[in-house]
Structure 1
Amino acid sequence: MLLDQMLPTVRPRRSLRPWRQFRPRCVGAFTVLELLVAIGVVGVLVSLLLPAVMHARESGRKTICSNQLHQIGLAMHQHHNWRERLPPAWRVATDRPEFAYGWAAFLLPGMEEASVMPRLDFNQAPNAAGVGDLGLALMNCPSDLIEPSFDLYESTPEPEEEEDSSEGSKDDRMGEVLIRLPTASYVGVYGTVEADEYYTELREGTPERSDGAIVFDRVVRFADLTRGLSKTLLVGERTMATVPSTWLGVDLRGEDAECRLTGSAMTHPNCDTCDECEFTSRHAGGSYFLWADGHVSLVAETIDPNAYRELARRSAP
């Protein structure tokens, strides 16, 4: 008895919270309905925000395009101050008459691209192996899907209508590659006639005279723009989707060679029926143009064709 009192009483161990042993476990989760609602809300937000983001990005690209044309305009005025004339649409190399340098090649110092000049000899055609990499960021619209260079093929006669199309595809009739050229988005305003018809008409007799500001067959000064500098177009856009253009120059034996350097205003910008010599862009609503006074603006697709042609002429007809 005394011994039992001296020893501690050992009691069975019990859980302090026995109710936890029987409490069911609760796992947090979404129901299928909640998940579908969340996905729907996210989809609606994306559909609302994506157009706004795309619009903001295109707005930024338009600003860059406009600024690039403005810089080309400054170079154009600088050239006029030095040479007392606007640059020719193209100039034939003295010792290589089949090659012609484009108008933008004469603006390189004013476009802060003087480092390219040592690679060009205006008496000779450029080295065919090295001209394809002479791309200028200033000459490429950020909205256009630009390939850095393109192959200029030799012009071949159009097949006669009665000729069976099974005799050969367009690729089979394509001439040899003459030269690989750097791509550009901006071409000079030749007027309302197509530049690529000049040499064809010259061989046949008297070619149609150009009526724009950036031309080959005459010297044009600002004083010759009698309709006013603020009412005369100098340079406009052309997307690569129409035909690849270049700033450097062309082999005059190439397909649509002169139109790779210049453009003509015949209908309206971005028209569905525009051919390779007209002005086009990937901007919604129209194309950007540099005017002779140096300002840049978007010429709308809805412009009256007669008014459009008037703006492309250096003087009243």
Structure 2
Amino acid sequence: MPTATQPRRKPPTHGFTVCELLVVMACTGVLLALLLPAIVFARESARRATCGSQLRQIGLATQAYHDSHRRFPAAWSDDNREPGFVSGWATSLLAELGEPSLARRFADPAQSPSRMNEASLKILVCPSDIAEPQFELRADTDTDTDDDAFAASAAADQLGDVLLTLPTASYLGVFGTTEADDHDQINGVLQRTPSDGTIVHDRRVRFADLRRGASATILVGERTMARAPSTWLGVDVLGEDAECRLVGSAITRPNCEECDECEFDSRHPGGVNFLWADGRVELVSDSVDTAVYRQSSQRFVR
């Protein structure tokens, strides 16, 4: 027992040494490196499942529309209220998608469909994509020249005027193996590319027209905003890549980085979700055979 003259001893204290601290930091780093990819994968799996659920709802809406109208919705249709504006295929499904008030508003002759840019529909936006709720559609500035370098320079130096601000959508009708925005002026008349898909502009397509069967024909697919911002509402036909904002083409393969902006892509690892005409949703692999991929988008057998 210490006397009055003896100082009271403090109990010894213990702390981390520099070596121990470094070991703890290294272990924490290893654990994070192991856990983070699993967390990211789990979150993307949930997003992909949501995208698939949205596509299935679009499939149900499309089948209900077909039951009522004996056809699939047209890729786009002229809107006589506004020169140059065409409404997109998804506007035909608004009521079936649980948006009856928006459907009535769109059908109102006093409304301006092209100005309904605030009408963002969550069911038509895949949560996996990094997308803004709206985008600007600018006028096409194609210079009609064979000099690719000159055309690229001109496009860089001059952006077209903003024609419309449109709500973003992640899902596009399958136009087939041709590009919907590929057309020419012949004697002052716009001649569009013939289609071979199911969601098209130039003919009435029914289930009976799917010669390979509904289970072998893709109907709707995904596209990211990074490739080309797309919309459900409609476009001005004078806009840049206008028709390809509504429909997509299966020309090469999913997620083809060097391919045209009209093709399909997604942020899902390994492929792109597609809605098939029989109502199921499947991920089509990036490595799918090109011939098989193209055939799945065509309504007839070549």
Whole-angstrom CA distance in 2 between matches of 1:25 and 1:153: 76
- Which residue of structure 1 lines up, in the alignment, with residue 98 of structure 2? 112
Deviation at 1:43, TM superposition (A): 0.7
Query: How many aligned positions are there?
Result: 301
In the TM superposition, what are the counterparts of 1:118-133 in structure 2 within 5 Å? 118-121=104-107, 126=112, 128=114, 130-133=115-118
Q: Name the structure 1 match of 2:145.
A: 160
Give deviations 1:186-212, integer Å, cap 9, x for gaps.
000000011111455795786542100
2:301 corresponds to 1:316:
yes
Counterpart among 298, 313, 316 of residue 283 in structure 2: 298
- Report if aligned partners of 1:264, 1:279 keep a CA contact under 8 Å in 2: yes
- Match of residue 7 from structure 1: none
Change beyond 3 A, Cα 1:114–1:205: closer
- Counterpart residue type for residue 132 of structure 1: N
**Contact 2:84 2:236 (C-alpha < 8 Å) held by counterparts:** yes
Instruction: State the SS of the aligned residue for 1:18.
Output: coil
Alignment-derived partner of residue 260 in structure 1: 245
Which residue of 31, 37, 44 corresponds with 1:45? 31
Q: Which moved more, 1:245-254 or 1:23-32?
A: 23-32
Identity of aligned residues (%): 48
- Alignment counterpart, residue 76 of structure 2, candidates 48, 72, 90: 90
Residues 269-303 of structure 1 show CA distances to partners (whole Å, capped at 9, x for unaligned) of: 00122211111111111100000000000000000
Letter in 2 for 1:131: M
TM-score by length of structure 1 reads 0.88
SS state at 2:275 partner: strand
What residue identity is the alignment partner of 1:268?
A: R
| Conservation of the 8 A alpha-carbon contact between 1:201 and 1:207 | no
- Residues 200 and 140 (structure 1), Cα distance of their counterparts in 2 relative to 1, 3 Å cut: farther
8 Å CA contact 1:93–1:125 kept in 2: the answer is no
- Go from structure 1 to structure 2 and tell me whether the alpha carbon gap of 1:123 and 1:115 turns closer, same or farther (over 3 Å shift): closer
Tell me, yes or no, if the aligned pair for 2:81 and 2:112 is still in contact at 8 Å: no
Q: Using a 3 Å threshold, how does the CA distance of structure 1 residues 77 and 199 change in structure 2: closer, same or farther?
A: farther
Partner of 2:171: 186
Contact 1:99 1:125 in 2 (8 A): no
- For residues 128-147 of structure 1, the aligned pairs below 5 Å read 128=114, 130-147=115-132
- 1:280–1:200 distance in 2 versus 1, CA, 3 Å: farther
1-structure distance, mates of 2:110, 2:259 = 34
Give the stretch that moved more between structures: 250-259 or 95-104.
Answer: 95-104
| Separation in 2, partners of 1:162, 1:198 | 20
1:249 maps to what in 2? 234
Cα distance change on mapping 1:207 and 1:151 into 2, 3 Å: closer
CA deviation after TM superposition for structure 1 residue 147, in Å? 0.4
The 3-state SS of whatever aligns with 1:65 is: helix
Q: Which amino acid aligns with 1:95?
A: R
Q: Report the residue type matching 2:198 in the other structure.
A: A
CA contact (8 A) 1:201 1:208 kept: no
Partner of residue 196 from structure 1, selected from 160, 171, 181: 181
Greater CA drift, 112-121 or 200-209: 200-209
SS at the partner of 1:68? helix
RMSD: 2.4
Deviation at 1:162, TM superposition (A): 4.8
Q: Contact 1:211–1:313 at 8 Å: present in 2 too? A: yes
Q: Which runs of 5+ in 1 are unaligned?
A: 1-15
1:277 aligns with 2:277: no
Corresponding residue of 2:53 = 67
TM-score by length of 2: 0.92
